[in-house]
Every structure is written in structure tokens, then in C-alpha cells.
Copies of this chain bind each other. A is one copy, B any other.
Amino acid sequence: MPGINQVAQLAGVSTATVSRALSGNGHVSETTRHRVRAAARELGYVVSSNASSLATGRMRNIGVVIPFLNRWYFGAVLEGAEQALLRHGYDLTLYNLSGGEDQRTSVFEDFLLRKRVDAVIAISLELTGSEVERLLTINKPIVGVGGSIAGVRTLSIDDGAVAQLATEHLLALGHRTIGFIGGNRQSEMDFHVPSQRRGGFIAALADAGLTADPELFQSADFTIPGGYAAAKQLFGNPRKRPTAVFAASDEMAIGAILAARDLGLSVPDDVSIIGVDDHELAEFFGLTSIAQFPALQGEMAVDILMDQLHPDHTAHASSNTPLPFELIVRSSTSRPKS
């Protein structure tokens, strides 16, 4: 495990020069730079990021806090962020909060404060005021993805607009009795997203002169089984079976497709279904969906952080662009039969 001074010796220069040559900070003549690099390679030298961090105060590491791992959206954001970070030479340390409240506390009170990370990305998390404040006072930038956090720069699609677009698609096809599968109380807590999607749904209905019917609302937990159960309720209603359903996530929408099949209803002939996300399985199920681009969101979060961390880093125009989303029409929606 060679140290910087061994490299210095081999190259016949001082450690200061080695540091400059390798890090690119400060001027070093071409020739010395080469000698140093050669020496470093020969010895297989790699800087100790600890020593380096201790000296500079930069960790080259960012913390990502996430509520679960096994939900497609989270994984996709994480993957996007990871790629972008690697490209910048940063590490990603992961904090998964699925372990409950105690774990959350320890992550925020201990782990994140250990000065290990330069900044944090919070995915679909509603941070409390004190959690935010704590991080900000020790000067750790935060950016949120998917969900809004008071006082924090957050990247998220306009959930209201997304829901409105989805609903309009159904309306435009001629549907008038439209069911809605949204989040339940549990998911509202941290996501906050469901209620905005519900809002957009109601707004679109109102624009079309319709009023939302409470009988057509179901809530679920954003999973396939959850969507399945909710959809069965909707489709089973003999008096008011919807001809279309808007599910606030593709996973729930897929559950709804399966529920329809099990009830002998044909999609889209008997019932149209639309979701949100463009989940990796959406195409397989022929699901019409409003795509959002989670990997891109993860990357953007990283870009923003890099801007803040290295003020020179050429700011991407993306910085203040509203996030893209897009209606992708597949085979799960059509005009109502009758």
C-alpha cells in the first residue's frame, strides 16, 4: 500500500508536487507530471480518500436516502444517480429507511452527520423540518427527488398535471365513468404524491363537467397486489362499474389489468386502464401510461448537487427545467364499448 511519499521518492519530487500532479490542482510542468504519473502507476498508488478528505474537507461521496429498495421507481432513480456519480468520481452511500422509525432516526442523527457525505439526495421522502435543518446547518446541500420537501430543491414531475393528462386521455376516448386507484394513508405519509394525483384527476373531471364520485375511489399501496384488490372492488360494483380506471402507479395499474382478466373483463374492450411511470413491465402488459423518467431524475439530482459543490462545473440548462413526462398509448385503453 504505497503512500504519496513513496511516489514522491520514486519520481524524485516532493509530496506536494505529487499531490498537485495527480489531482490537477496547481501547476506542474508537463515532464514532472509524466514522471509522477509513471511512478504512481508503477507502484499502484491510489490516494487515501480519508487523508485527502481530512485535508480538504471534501468527501467525494454523497448519501442517498430511500424508503424502500424493491419498488421499481426507487431502483430506477437510484440507478440513474449512481451512474452519474460514478462518472464524477463520487461514491454513493445508501441509506434505506425500510427498517422503521428507529432506523430513520439513527440515519439522520448519526450516520448522515458523521461528515461522510458532501450532500444528500432524498428519494420520495418527506423530510421533517428538523431533519432538513440539521443537514443544512452543517452545510450539506439536499436535493429531493419525487416528492416535495419544504425548503429544499426538489425534482419531481408535476403530479397534478400528470394525473390530469391521464384522465383527459380517458375522457377524450369517451369515458364518463372513471375509477381512480390512489394511495392509502400509509403511502400519503411519505410520498405526498398520491394526493396531488388525486387532485389532478378531480380537476380533469371537473373540466369535463363531471364530478368525482366517491364510489369510484379506491386506495392501495402502490403494489400489484394492492392494485389488484382495489380494482376488484371497482369492477365488482354491479351498479356502477367504471368503464375506465386511472391508477396512480403502473404497478397498481398492472394489478388492475390482472383483476379485470380474472373477472372475465376484457381490457380494453370492457375496461380501459391507464397508469403512471412507464414501469419496465408496462410494455409487456400493453399498459398505457404516463411515462416519467426516473433514471434521468436521479442524474439531474446529481447534476444539481455537483453545481452546488463545484461552483465552476458548467451548470446544465436542465437546472430549472420542469421535469418531462409523456403519454404513452398502448393497448390497455380504447373507446368504451357501448
| Residue A308, interface by CB 8 Å | no
Please measure, in the bound complex, the distance between the C-alpha atom of A79 and the C-alpha atom of B103, giving whole angstroms.
13
Most B CB atoms within 10 A — which of A78, A86, A98, A281?
A: A86
| Residue A99, interface by CB 8 Å | yes
A78 nearest CB neighbor, chain B only: B69
| Residue A115, interface by CB 8 Å | yes
Please measure, in the bound complex, the distance between the C-alpha atom of A83 and the C-alpha atom of B96, giving whole angstroms.
8
How many copies the complex holds: the figure is 2
CB distance from A237 to the nearest CB of B (A): 22
Please measure, in the bound complex, the distance between the C-alpha atom of A53 and the C-alpha atom of B172, giving whole angstroms.
62
By size class, the interface of chain A is 35 or more
Most B CB atoms within 10 A — which of A48, A106, A138?
A: A48
Complex contacts, A99 vs chain B, CB 8 Å: 83, 86
| Contact for A48 among B49, B61, B82, B115, CB less than 8 A | B115
| A32-68 to B contact mask, C-beta < 8 Å, 1/0 | 0000000000000011111101100001010000000
Please measure, in the bound complex, the distance between the C-alpha atom of A188 and the C-alpha atom of B51, giving whole angstroms.
40
Is B46 a contact partner of A110 (Cβ separation < 8 A)?
A: yes
Taking A50-B116, A86-B99, A225-B281 as known contacts, 15 extra A-B pairs with beta carbons closer than 8 A to each other, sorted by chain A number, are A1-B115, A46-B115, A47-B114, A49-B116, A50-B54, A50-B59, A69-B75, A69-B76, A70-B76, A75-B75, A82-B95, A92-B93, A92-B94, A94-B94, A224-B281
